[in-house]
Structure 1
């Protein structure tokens, strides 16, 4: 029996299941061996827990750094199987000492509780349980949060009831929406809904049986297409669990994560008290409240000291007060507060701010900030988002990385890969949006072997010079849109966020010589020794799929390069000799 079927109860090995597993075993023989470093190695000393998704099925080779031979690619199955993800040897030694062991166990300890949250989901054996069979053996609670349609969530819930046996009684899937629900053809009429907003966060919490809490924040929808055919980013880190809860100091990653998870509990309670729930689907509020409370308590027990220079950046649907002494704890003001210490204000003209996402939506529409007041009137992208991240005194150049029509057409999947790259043509042509084209930079991913793989990853990186040094890096679910990051309303007194979003931020210790905090470097330009022989600080590697060197950041060529849009018919045949119209309804509601 294969390692996959070892996890499955005999009653679940149906004929169709046996057939799928035989196919999977055959496919696994053709795939390269798992290149994750073994627990005894010291090869992960430069890791920050940032990986790219493995694309072996597409013939894309894994990445390793020449400096440390560190694997920079993992698959979804890796997250639910053997291996430890500490990012540094010190954290691993702490955990091993707490467990009274001298080496990491060779076998996956199993899952006690698991929380998986996403936008578009397939939580059945057609996808998730097929690749992550250890979920079948969970001894505690399984909680799934989805932003998918009511029909899709209902179908997944029915599958769980029919196939999980006794585990189904400890399993819940809850459908969440944004502040304003998007119309659902099954339950809503156009007049009953105002605006849009979705549960867009993509993260996991796995409580392992050996006393670890595995935190995963990533960019892929939980569907096969996203994990296998798109360029994605994954942060994963194992946290030690203390016997009792402790209070994380404000400003730390633990404090931010508890605050974000607690917002789900608050939304559930508000929904239970409201005659017309707006954030949680009917019948799911109690399951959300009870289940999320379990994971809040687990995070309160987690040791985040190894992640001292990392932060959670989140958005929660609602109106958040903007006070001068205390900015909003969510959205782009929270990001601006955290990166304000990264010394971007004092950098030279060689500093580059690279914003890369998979949806622009109404990113630069003036209507999105019409009530923000004179101080922020005008396009959201420039007057609010960029102004917060790059004060007027800064001299950094801004690059909005977005694939061209030709890059999508010539990708491995042709126009089909444009699904998930959402931007209306008027974002680039309307008069309020004329600032966007000036920032456009083509997708470049030659170094990561992903030039012909279209991105679904979302990042923001501040880099300087051509030596690969980074001031900070964001990886998460948020696209460059006001729905994701928030927009000022009520004359600038409130920030309105519409989506649930979650990301992680790495901040370099550049310029701070009072600590031994690590420096951040692009893995493409990993130094072979200490960046500064007189500096005792170590460095950590960021496997950004694109090159951050000035020469590699190619601006759109006037009259030759056109940005990919999701509402226009492309007439030239693509790599598959197809001329496909992905306009309007062709991409509406698809992964983003």
Structure 2
């Protein structure tokens, strides 16, 4: 009989019988945080720490102190009498919440080693929103919430067991170089992608036995597998989710402005937990499961199982997705319906109490994207009747077509691109068709320049896609959406039909930030990042916006 099962039987035979466990073979080098591991093996060095009058991690232990503190949080409640940590003359039980140890009656956050990704993540809390570094702009390398792809593989986040990359374009050679830089080149990797690099399959099959892959072919010729999601599972079966705007190749991570959200650690739930356990207040877990299930692929099954068994209770953002097909209100599958419904349920704007008061319409909506689709012959055909209907929602109003809300769009002009770090090549991430633009010249009245001088990012073109609603004083946000979805019917959903259905052609994914779920009335924004004030929401471009001049023309490829 398996030793662990035998011990469980012995434990069930009589509570008075003392269970003898073997010492963990890794000794003080053990990095595990899995409760089942602590049930199976003794860890004398941790037990000794729990018996101390005041917990102090010795400097001579081989791992980072944060590892031992997290292990103590797991081990403490598992011991029969739930030992306490004594500090300052009083006894306080260890709290099992991640990254927190209570001592002396107050909560102390574990401080990660400076320079690690865990330290950056703690500094970026509670929003966990990051931008990519731009090597051509050295100032961006100094900002607190700028990262590289290899930062996502930093061991401070956990010992990687396997990972899933869902994306549009993947340069497998570049991607494997990033994993190899962290000595993770042989770890199991699953990739789902929508655009094939030359001889990509042949390369994987010949040289990468650890990589499982699937090309997601869209049924609709105008559809695109455009979502950008990463799931990273660690040795203790906890996981983190990344929702990004970046493809997985060199230029996207070095030449263009990108955004990404990184989840907190989602720990493994107890074995007897159900799929509905560990849900976040925003329903993030069920939305992610619905999205993964839509693929209906055998290689995704294990990832669905990982997500089912993970605790997402600390996630504060909403996952918004689009998947091909016809979708209706109150059902997942389209940005148009989901964003509009979230805003009508959770977005609060100041009421108009008099002729001089702000009122909801004084808060302007900004859409910023890297590509524009075919929008029709007039603003009323889709832009205002469908997209703005969704973006203009709030608790004090019903969703209405052709809202009177102000809509401004940020899209780089020809001058923006020509002044970029790489001249015309800077516009490689901006696939707006000149033919389409000529058919909708009315759209130019909505356009504004790309300008991000505050963060030294003006000369790097934006592949990031963001949507938000800004106060008249330009200092607050009512909400913020980071997504892969550009301004197009394929991504958001077509015109709303008589039965309220919309047709989606593409796969998209984003995260919606709503102040209510961060215990705030509005998000405070600033032109520069302030690492010391964690209540300042990271915002990339400059306000007020800069309108197109009379001779300006949007960059078209």
- TM above 0.5, one fold? yes
- The answer to whether 1:176 aligns with 2:216 is yes
Question: Where do residues 336-375 of structure 1 align in structure 2 (5 Å cutoff)?
Answer: 336-340=340-344, 341-344=346-349, 346=351, 347-362=359-374, 364-366=375-377
Q: How far does residue 223 in structure 1 lie from its aligned partner after superposition?
A: 0.9
Q: Which runs of 5+ in 2 are unaligned?
A: 1-112, 352-358, 393-398
**1:449 aligned onto 2:462:** no
Aligned residue in 2 for 1:241: 268
Which residue pairs with 2:240 in the alignment? 214
Is the counterpart of residue 82 in structure 1 residue 177 in structure 2? Answer: no
Q: Which moved more, 1:44-53 or 1:483-492?
A: 483-492
Please report the TM-score for the alignment, with normalisation by the length of structure 1. Answer: 0.66
Tell me the SS of whatever aligns to 2:291. Answer: helix
Give distance in 2, aligned partners of 1:259 and 1:417: 36
Aligned equivalent of 2:135, options 37, 52, 56: 56
> CA, structure 1 residues 199+329, in 2 after alignment: closer, same or farther (shift >3 Å)?
closer
CA contact (8 A) 1:349 1:397 kept: yes
Q: Which has the higher contact order (CA 8 A, sep 6+)?
A: 1
Whether the aligned pair in 2 keeps the contact of 1:352 and 1:464 (CA below 8 Å) is yes
**Compared with structure 1, are the counterparts of its residues 449 and 137 closer, same or farther at alpha carbon in structure 2 (3 Å cutoff)?**
closer
Q: 1:213 to 1:508 in 2, by over 3 A?
A: same
Q: Which of the residues 536, 542, 548 maps onto 2:537?
A: 542
User: Does 1:478 pair with 2:485?
Assistant: yes
Give the CA deviation at 1:313. Answer: 0.5
Taking the TM superposition and a 5 Å limit, the aligned residue runs for 1:97-112 are 109=159, 111-112=160-161
SS of the aligned residue for 1:400 comes to: strand
Q: How many residue pairs align between the two structures?
A: 425
2:288 is the alignment partner of 1:293: no
Q: In the alignment, which residue of structure 1 is the partner of 2:294? A: 263
- Which of 300, 307, 314 in structure 1 is aligned with 2:315? 307
* Structure 1 unaligned spans of 5+: 1-33, 65-70, 85-107, 183-195, 266-288, 368-376, 531-538, 567-592
Distance 2:350 2:505 in 1: 30
| Matching residue of 1:423 | 432
What is the deviation of 1:350?
3.8
Q: CA deviation at 1:456?
A: 0.4
Distance 1:345 1:200 in 2: 36
**Conserved? CA contact 2:275–2:308, under 8 Å:** yes
Cα deviation for residue 177 of structure 1 reads 2.5
Deviations 1:553-575 (A, max 9, x none): 11222x23222122xxxxxxxxx
Contact 1:488 1:495 in 2 (8 A): yes
Q: In structure 2, the residue corresponding to 1:173 is in which secondary structure?
A: strand
- 349 and 529 in structure 1: CA distance in 2 versus 1, 3 angstrom threshold: farther
Corresponding residue of 1:505:
512
Q: Secondary structure at the match of 1:354?
A: strand
* TM-score, structure 2 as length reference: 0.69
Judge conservation of contact 2:386–2:496 (CA < 8 Å) in 1.
no
Q: How does 1:308-347 map to 2 (within 5 A)?
A: 308=316, 310-320=317-327, 322=328, 326=330, 329-340=333-344, 341-344=346-349, 346=351, 347=359
Q: Write the deviation string for residues 96-117 of structure 1: whole angstroms up to 9, x where unpaired.
A: xxxxxxxxxxxx52x2221001
For 1:436 and 1:203, the matched residues in 2 are separated by 31
Aligned to 2:4: none
| 1:12-91 aligned within 5 A | 36=115, 39=118, 44=123, 46-56=125-135, 58-62=137-141, 64=143, 71-84=144-157
Q: Which residue of 2 aligns with 1:116?
A: 165
Residue in structure 1 matched with residue 414 of structure 2 by the alignment: 405
Is 1:464 matched with 2:471?
yes
Give the aligned CA root-mean-square deviation in angstroms: 3.1
Tell me the distance in 2 between the aligned counterparts of 1:49 and 1:505: 12
